[in-house]
Structure 1
Amino acid sequence: MRKYKKIVGIVGIFATLLSSSVIADESNSESLELANSTSGFAKIKVMANSMGGFKSILALEGVEFNVSGSRFEPEQSYKPAGEFIDVGDYNYKFSTILNTQQSRTEWLRDVRFPFIQQFSYTEVINGNFGAVFGFDTVFAAPQAPMLSTRLGAQVKQNIVSSPLALIHRAKQYSDQVQYLGTVKFNDRLQQVVSIPGWNQDIRIYIDVASKLPSKVETLEDDTVYGDAQWEIVFSHWDEVNGIKVPLELHHKLNGREINIETRSSVNLNASIDASLFLIPAELVSDFNADQFAWGVRSSQWFNRFLPFAIPFDLDQRSAATLQMVELAPKVFHAKAITHHSMIIEMDDYLIVTEAPLYEERSQVVISEIKKRWPNKPIKYLVVTHFHNDHIGGVRAYAALGATIIVGSETKDHYEAVFKAPHTVFPDALQNNPVDVKIKTVEAGHDLVLSDGIRNVRVFDVTNRHAIGTLVPFVEDENLLFVSDLYSPGFFADAIPPLFLGWSVDLLAALETSPLDIQWLVGGHGGISSYDTFVAKVQSSL
């Protein structure tokens, strides 16, 4: 963590700064007392007064504004630490009652990755319940209850991105607000104050000169980064009804920008009809505290995937979502809702292909494996490619001692994943550190895993989706496992353009292969014959 130095000997400077200006709601003597105080809550009050008045902000209720923004994703690039993917742009109208868990967000989202499609929908949150009206993903119903994971992620987003809401939260937990000292941010001196979050505190950086919040930051749990720092930088302040608000927000994850937002048409103390927050009885689902906590501690993981128009907020952590389908003797498709694995039984060990989504998903698969094959260890995990939705559960297998097989160009990335601290929500590898074994497959080459009876050939496929992509092939059953490059049965009609390019690359590689490939097993979707795959690609061109 960053080390903070306490302010010593510069009380006079703050007194001069504050006494030279008129601060709303407080007399000059009260302002000087706040400035001199080392109380964290006193610093919040100074900040609020500089924004237009602590009492005035607490008196605010209805708030409305419009937003336009853009989303970028670091963990879906062609190569690790490569150019971010431009996920798309969006606009929304946001309405809320401060200091309540009521909000309405009316979205118009233009998605460019991985689908090219426009989505119009509305999210409504009312207390511990939420609902979605309209189509927010490619699989959505016209209206549906909001899962508690998404509820937690959105509630946190709404508060952390709003200086006004943060002041209200600080008031609610005034006895727990702490002053941490000073640091430099953007070459300007900042006072740092922490207020209680949910599982981690929220740190507010208050500019010493302007006394406005420069940014907020908090730690989250991320499947790839582990302890990930989410920060929002505030800029372009404007005064609305006597209160200053930021009109531009830059969201960063571990220092890398993932989201830019511009706010307009800000209306403070707006008269908001209570009916905007009503949720029909048929859309009220049971509140799940565990899911809510998950959404809160990993809000950016969920909020980064929703712009893909894919429902990553579905809970795939339970055994009830695991379906074991026997594809051939001693070969199983371990299917979840969106992402799947394949399990290959060898003479005295097991091979698992793919560890998608998150730690808990891998633990479900591992638990089932231990029930079915109590005397056979998982010797190898084959990871198809490095994108975060496909490696989120890889650390669980590493903790078991399995050798992790990856493309050679991505080895450094996996080493960083295995070294990343996971203290926000400790996983198996954090709790039981081991020396992780990594085996690589060189570009244009293959690796044969054999027990003397069955051969599994893992080879690298050159493609435009992800460098170091691997496809394992079970020779005696003519089965090829593939993720993303082709998803059997996923598209009823023609393969969309972006996905089609990936499938064309796979077809080009397989056409020159000497292997007798008869079946394709999907990391998404189901299973299809090789001939069906060829016909599907050709008909989509």
Structure 2
Amino acid sequence: MKLRQFVALAAMAAASPLYAADAASTAVLKQALEAQGGAQKLRAVKTVAFESSGYRNMLEQSERPEGPWLVAFLDITELHDHEYKALRRDVKMAVPPAQQWNTSLVVSGDVAMNAFGANQVPGNSADVKRAGESMALSPERVLLSALDAADTHLEASQVMHGVPHQVLAFTLDGAPVRIYLNQYTHLPFAVDYAGPLAHTAYGAFIGDATQRVTWTFWRLDKSGLRYPMQWDYQLNGMADRTLMLRKLKVDAPFDPALTTIPEAVAARYKPQAPAPGPDTTPLGAKRTEIVPGIVQIEASWDVAIVDQGDGLVVIEAPISSNYSKQVLDEAARRYPGKRVKAVVSTSDSWPHLAGIREYAARGIPIYALGLSEPIVRRTLAAPHTRQPDSLQRAPRKPELHWVRGKTVIGSGPNRVELYPIMGATTERQMMAYFPQHRLLYGSDPFQKRQDGSYTAAQPVSELVQAVAREQLAVDRFFMMHLPPAPYSELLAVEGEAD
């Protein structure tokens, strides 16, 4: 290459937006790192441990999908060991008045363990991936992650809460990260991420998801590190959870046993095993024919298939498109040649309706409660570009039927009648009634404990009141998580208080 050509190409490169953005992002990053304590000090941090309290909005379970939401209270203790790539997270979650869970996640190197109370079980590769992302995007590491990334660049500045913010962007595990830097303080105000970490809990059900964590109430720690004490999370713009740190320890001594996975557990860890999730949940193996032509497929998420002679009606479309595919395969196997003429989704809970997209993709009519129209349409319209399903690959206008009062599907002995329940806690659920069999499907307002008692008298009473209001004659009932049982059990509970 001639010298003149080389000089010309070098000048073009120096003038290109990419080169300018890289130079600009480096300057902005240096400013942000200094504001937080300096790159050298952040690099030297080996461990960060904190205790926090807060709450989670149960977005996937709530009576109204736009809020206000049911709340679970949280107490979380977390340890980041950057030197040995280890993380421990202990969570106490309570839903008053009676429900409480204690869980722990330990990730050490490339091995993960989950604990539920005293029960320790191997984790999975997704646990390892998400733990690594949690640490890479933590307040003490996110700026360094941007500094170390090969594609860090500046995007257009944004005004948030009236304050201008510079936007640094890069990729982590193939997904975009955006850091919003307060232009006055130069500290990171918020971080957006659309990778695996965003697709946990109910984020696993909603297609493409972006998690935003906003950091406020900054503290100058005695270590010289500035650290945010309040963390507010959003998922696709919905308020997810809020944590307030009570204690913060930087490079404090800790018991190595906290991040040690017992050999017996580590030996059972299978890095190649598929991570559990909505798309890998198998269909239940137990099939119960409640009456001729009405089959309940029992699993963590039950589905019923109703043979009406001229076609089939599926009750519930839970979890995922892949789960619905398994249900439709079972229907074709059990009733060869019969078309599925309708699917009924009785609840607005995210896990209950995430599978309707497969039915929409196949042109199968969908019946849902009229009050659930916004969340149903949002589910059907949600992009699934990260893991495309049938509807993403071949978009199709869904056939939707909204239930606002008594709605009949089919005729004959397995005719089904749909009714809104309309209770205080069951506002967004409906029941399905089979009059010829005096059989009721009650959606999922309550469950049954191991001792045979029901979880709450209030929703039981609401279902009983709805049956009385519609003057239905019921001998037996079944539900999303309950096999057939005598209806008299509910009448006995309905007169009691919790």
Contact 2:52 2:77 in 1 (8 A): yes
Distance 1:63 1:410 in 2: 43
**Who is 1:62 aligned against?**
47
Give the direction of change, closer, same or farther, for the CA distance of 1:42–1:328 in structure 2 (3 Å limit).
farther
Q: Structure 1 residue 203: deviation in Å?
A: 0.9
Alignment partner for residue 495 of structure 1, among 451, 454, 461? 454
Q: Structure 1 residue 175: deviation in Å?
A: 1.5
Where do 1:217-366 residues align within 5 Å?
Answer: 217-219=192-194, 220=198, 222=203, 225-240=206-221, 241-284=223-266, 285-288=268-271, 291-292=274-275, 317-319=280-282, 321-336=284-299, 338-366=300-328
Distance 1:235 1:35 in 2: 31
Where do 1:103-142 residues align within 5 Å?
Answer: 103-112=87-96, 116-135=98-117, 142=119
Contact 1:494 1:540 in 2 (8 A): no
Three-state SS of the structure 2 residue aligned to 1:535 is helix
1:341-367 deviation line (CA, Å, top 9, x unaligned)? 111012131111111222322222222
Give the direction of change, closer, same or farther, for the CA distance of 1:199–1:522 in structure 2 (3 Å limit).
farther
Distance 1:503 1:41 in 2: 60
Instruction: Name the amino acid aligned to 1:522.
Output: M
**Who is 1:519 aligned against?**
476
Q: Structure 1 residue 226: deviation in Å?
A: 3.4
Give the direction of change, closer, same or farther, for the CA distance of 1:73–1:134 in structure 2 (3 Å limit).
closer
Distance 2:71 2:108 in 1: 32
Q: Structure 1 residue 394: deviation in Å?
A: 1.4
Instruction: Name the amino acid aligned to 2:158.
Output: V
**Who is 1:535 aligned against?**
492
**Who is 2:77 aligned against?**
93
Q: Structure 1 residue 151: deviation in Å?
A: 4.8
1:300-341 deviation line (CA, Å, top 9, x unaligned)? xxxxxxxxxxxxx666734464432222222111222x2211
Contact 1:35 1:46 in 2 (8 A): no
User: Which structure 1 residue ranges, 4+ long, deviate > 6 Å from structure 2?
Assistant: 313-316
Contact 2:87 2:108 in 1 (8 A): yes
Give the direction of change, closer, same or farther, for the CA distance of 1:479–1:452 in structure 2 (3 Å limit).
closer
Three-state SS of the structure 2 residue aligned to 1:507 is helix
Three-state SS of the structure 2 residue aligned to 1:467 is coil
Distance 1:532 1:203 in 2: 54
Give the direction of change, closer, same or farther, for the CA distance of 1:483–1:189 in structure 2 (3 Å limit).
same
Contact 1:236 1:246 in 2 (8 A): yes
Structure 1 residues without counterparts, runs of 5 or longer: 1-33, 136-140, 293-312
Is it true that 1:193 corresponds to 2:168 in the alignment? yes
Where do 1:155-194 residues align within 5 Å?
Answer: 155-160=132-137, 162-171=138-147, 173-194=148-169
Is it true that 1:404 corresponds to 2:387 in the alignment? no
Is it true that 1:146 corresponds to 2:123 in the alignment? yes
**Who is 1:479 aligned against?**
439
1:52-109 deviation line (CA, Å, top 9, x unaligned)? 1112211211221221222112343323313121222x22322221265311223333
Q: Structure 1 residue 426: deviation in Å?
A: 1.9
Q: Structure 1 residue 402: deviation in Å?
A: 1.1
Give the direction of change, closer, same or farther, for the CA distance of 1:127–1:506 in structure 2 (3 Å limit).
same
Q: Structure 1 residue 225: deviation in Å?
A: 4.5
Q: Structure 1 residue 459: deviation in Å?
A: 1.6
1:138-190 deviation line (CA, Å, top 9, x unaligned)? xxx63333344455445444443x1212234335x432323223222222222
Q: Structure 1 residue 224: deviation in Å?
A: 6.0
Give the direction of change, closer, same or farther, for the CA distance of 1:247–1:291 in structure 2 (3 Å limit).
farther
Distance 1:197 1:476 in 2: 57
Q: How high is the sequence identity, in percent, across the aligned residues? A: 21
Give the direction of change, closer, same or farther, for the CA distance of 1:504–1:366 in structure 2 (3 Å limit).
same
Three-state SS of the structure 2 residue aligned to 1:395 is helix
Distance 2:279 2:490 in 1: 28
Instruction: Return the TM-score normalized by structure 2.
Output: 0.86
Instruction: Name the amino acid aligned to 1:235.
Output: T
Instruction: Return the TM-score normalized by structure 1.
Output: 0.80
**Who is 1:296 aligned against?**
none
Q: Structure 1 residue 237: deviation in Å?
A: 1.3
Q: Structure 1 residue 251: deviation in Å?
A: 0.9
Q: How many aligned positions are there?
A: 472
Distance 2:407 2:334 in 1: 27
Is it true that 1:49 corresponds to 2:42 in the alignment? no
Give the direction of change, closer, same or farther, for the CA distance of 1:64–1:512 in structure 2 (3 Å limit).
closer
Three-state SS of the structure 2 residue aligned to 1:210 is coil
**Who is 1:466 aligned against?**
426
Instruction: Name the amino acid aligned to 2:122.
Output: P
Contact 2:75 2:91 in 1 (8 A): yes
Distance 2:330 2:84 in 1: 43
